[in-house]
Amino acid sequence: MIIPAGGRGLRMGGGLPKQFRDWGGRPLLQATVEAFLAPGMPHLAGIALAVPESHLEETRSWSFSVPCWVVPGGDTRQASVWAALRALPDQPLAPVMIHDAVRPFPPAAPLWEALDALNQFDGVLLGEPSTDTLKRVDENGRVLGTEPREAFFRAQTPQIARLGTWLNAFRAADASGFNATDDVALLERLGLAVKLIPSPSSNLKLTTPEDWERTRPG
């Protein structure tokens, strides 16, 4: 598994990157990793974390029940993932999950389903079904139409592919200067088949102070 955690988390406020803020007595990033090591979750062979230079020593002091590689993060999320991918052992067929550092509630059942789907697809991601009516508008805000909401999902993580597939996609993106806001978009641009597995809204990304206050332990 890979967790890119090199960002500054400015929208949370407080100066400290949100992935290192206290979450039930430990940094949020550590809690997110531990959530994947809980009973009932798919087995992890190892974890690669990409973190800011200022937090390398702290992160390397953490102890998990599986091997953990810690590397300096990049200037973008995509660059951090690329750095972490290259830190993993050379096992091209190994499934690799890429997960947001600030999603501490990964759902076990959709993850098992996603890993099974990887036998038929090049990549898999979790996604939350849209419950809102969606409007398509022009640059002036004029409504051009109403879209069928059952065809739209909010992308979540983990996003999963085999290591060799990820490396090929990130290498191609790096060579062409292509940047995306999520990982499977790099697979999509190569024409690879990506499957979406419905996932609950509880697998949320903690982005704002309100998110934090509503969900933090204790």
**Digit-coded pLDDT (tens) for 100-118:** 999 999 999 999 999 999 9
**Digit-coded pLDDT (tens) for 51-100:** 999 999 999 999 999 999 999 999 999 999 999 999 999 999 999 999 99
H-helix segments, the chain: 28-36, 56-60, 77-85, 108-117, 163-176, 184-188, 209-215
The CA distances from residue 68 to 57, 74, 173, 192, in Å, are 13, 18, 26, 29
In angstroms, the CA 7 to CA 4 distance is: 8
In angstroms, the CA 71 to CA 92 distance is: 20
In angstroms, the CA 91 to CA 154 distance is: 31
Instruction: Specify the residue for token string 């509880």.
Output: 202
pLDDT of residue 10: 52
